[in-house]
Amino acid sequence: MTHFHNPYNFVPALPRDSVKGELGDRPPIGHSAYLDDHWTGKITVKLTTKTPLLIPAALKPGDEDRNKHKTYDLRTVGDSPYLPPTSIKGMLRAAYETVTNSRLSIFVGHDERLAYRMSTKMGLRMVPVRVENNKLRLFPGHSDIRRDGSPDSIMYAAWLPRYYKGQESRNAVKYPDGSLPEHKDEVKAYVELIHHYRWDSKQKKHVRDFQYFRVLEIVHKDTNLSKRTELLAPMPSKIFKKEGRSYHEPQRQCLEISGYVCISNSNIDRKHDERVFFDTLDEPIHADITPNLRRQWNQLITNYQEEHKDEICNKNRISPPALNYSTWSRHITHGHKKLAEGERKLTEGTLCYALVNNESSEPEVLGLYPVMISRELFDLSPSELLHPSLQPAQIVRQLSPADRVFGWVHQNDKTDKKLNKKVSAYKGQLRVHSVTCTSPDAIQSFGKIGFPLAILGQPKEKQSRFYATKNQQGESFVNGTTKSQGYQVNQGLRGRKIYPHHKDLPQNHWKQPTQDRTQQANNGHYQEYRRPKKDGQDRDDQNRSIRAWVKPDTTFTFSIDVVNLSDVELGALLYLLDLPDDHYHRLGSAKPLGFGSVHLELDEAKTTLQRGQYWRKFYHSLIPTQSPEPSLWKDSIREFKQTVEKTQVYAEGKPFENVQFIAAFEKAMKGYSGPVHYPRVTPEPRPDGESFEWFVHNERRNGQKLVLPTLTSGKTLPLDPTTESRQNNRHR
């Protein structure tokens, strides 16, 4: 119970530009005639649920309460659950794309570069800057700028006391009239030099790690300072120097400065100061604002705002939900109704921070940031790492196997409509229909209020160790890789996201879900699918409730009509419908919580597949001829497997089951033993559903910087991803 499996993983998607034949790209066969040597007919399939299946119905009036918590009914027809054919088709298409290594059918919203939080050390290298006359003016304070941009002695900006636990501090430095300094105010101030000491656990003593100026008095630029000598507080008789704790030591050295106030808001819980940008130079230092800097700034601020748009605009949150005493940063919400759209441009007077290369005679600004410890953009966007041969098809002759069989719609459909251009699409060679529930009493109901599901996590693509790879062949990073090394040239993406089956769950795991047993271990598992109560509450706008589900061991039947499938195309489909008994596809909602594991079984007796020449004879005489034995059309499975094995770029001489994407797919179908849940630092589920804490621990100085293990490795992740945890495990 010290380790867990992540609920999602990835099946590698390999470059396919050199793949020819039926696994490569080509125009579709079409529907105009039944072609010889191609398969047409009906396939009948039995579907059995292994775990409960969620099929939410559309919301009705009264299904959303005053806290915006939604409660869903089960989609039904009469007394039976209604399983839409489109849901089954979507499940099969995702699996078909995977085992044929087809192009991705959809890949939108990934054109912008992602961002990660830079290390705290980088904050010391950030040079304050102001946009003046279409240039960047640097404010290095009372220090010189080193070659790497760091100060040679004292931190650049002066500290302006302001907050305590998110509120105005009693020690806040104000103007003489009692008002607080505002963002961009041009000011004069008295500042005092402060030395900061931290505790060095190795040396067992305090060591000085940085110096800064703290504002003692501040006035508007046209107002005179008081010049009171008593501004310098007397040195305390005893400085608080507790072992293991840092402290600040005044140096009784005062300086008069002029500059600009920079307010970014109380955006972290322990923040106590804002900043005053200043310099003591005879001649100001300027640098050019290049088009690349403007583009980088726009992308970074947009990234900040889009990340929190739902929380601010739809959920009306006034502060980050993971913090207790904080508000949103100015560049996220200031200046324009709900989002600070004006902050996306570098306008006259903009105050920000710059990463500077000062190795030559003129400083070079490498990047601009709204706060000292900011997000940093990765070098490339996810779409730039996706190999061109895996990008969604743009023209008909680029259709991969999944596009030809299941259909294709040009990804820029909406844009084409605006331009009054003809939208490109292809119907496909397959139709799912006649879905019927064959089990009586298939629905388990939980009353009008239902029970609350656990919070489902949001994709965390910025965690490059989970989503990116070292190369286009899907080779994962090694543990210890820094987050900044992700999304770079010559790297790739992990592949197609998949939700492995939750194997070996206790027999009573799904019993009595209305009871909160989330904090009770059950043979190494917890009630992951239910949200724990916090202060008596377990329902809000972060999660959903359900009133019913489809019971385990419920059976459905459905039919698939196919037209003009080649041996390989049919073989790949039949392979998915004829997996061993312990292999499970995933269907419906809340798959990360274990719902929706289903087994598919081919009903050979009710399957009728014929080649085109049979249908020509049939329609010529209208007299049925002898149907081929199932062994003949099932030979197409062998044809598919052999074709994969013969594709050198995939198999490299390996048998079918050892091909990289096939092995990973089958491992996901068989599933994981042991706990399966989103990353967290406790064995039991958390009421808030947050996984950020695990990623914070993984990123710390003593964090292992763990990558997501590959599916085929079977490896787990530790609850505590620090080196201490690794040492303790080794000791045990």
What pLDDT, in 10s, does the model give residues 585-628?
A: 999 999 999 999 999 999 999 999 999 988 888 888 877 766 66
Quote the crossing angle between the two packed helices 85-99 and 567-577, to the nearest 10°: 110
What's residue 361's pLDDT?
83
b/e 333-358 (16+ beta carbons within 10 angstroms → b): bbeeeebbeebbebeeebbbbbbbeb
Residue 360 corresponds to which amino acid?
A: S
What's residue 484's pLDDT?
87
Residue 515 corresponds to which amino acid?
A: Q
What's residue 724's pLDDT?
58
Instruction: Kindly report the pTM of this predicted structure.
Output: 0.86
- Side-chain-side CA neighbours of 570 within 13 Å: the count stands at 28
pLDDT tens by residue, 650-675: 998 899 999 999 999 999 999 999 99
Write out the two tokens for 524. Answer: 């190494």
What's residue 731's pLDDT?
33
List of the chain residues with pLDDT < 70: 227-240, 322, 334-341, 413-423, 625-628, 724-732
- Report yes or no: 211 and 193 within 8 Å, Cβ to Cβ: yes
- Report yes or no: 718 and 724 within 8 Å, Cβ to Cβ: no
Phi, psi of 320 (to 5 degrees): -60, 130
Q: Write down the residue that tokens 């043979």 correspond to.
A: 523
What's residue 689's pLDDT?
73
Write out the two tokens for 315. Answer: 């959920």
What's residue 727's pLDDT?
43
User: Which sequence spans correspond to the domains of the chain?
Assistant: 3-112+395-691+706-712, 139-144+151-282, 290-377
What's residue 549's pLDDT?
98
Q: Where are the alpha helices (DSSP H) in 310-363?
A: 330-333
Query: Taking the chain, what is the end-to-end CA distance rounded to the nearest angstrom?
Result: 14
- Report yes or no: 275 and 157 within 8 Å, Cβ to Cβ: yes
**Secondary structure class of 506 (helix, strand, coil):** coil
Write out the two tokens for 429. Answer: 């060679």
Cβ neighbours, 10 Å, residue 525: 18
Element containing residue 41 per DSSP (H, E): strand 39-49
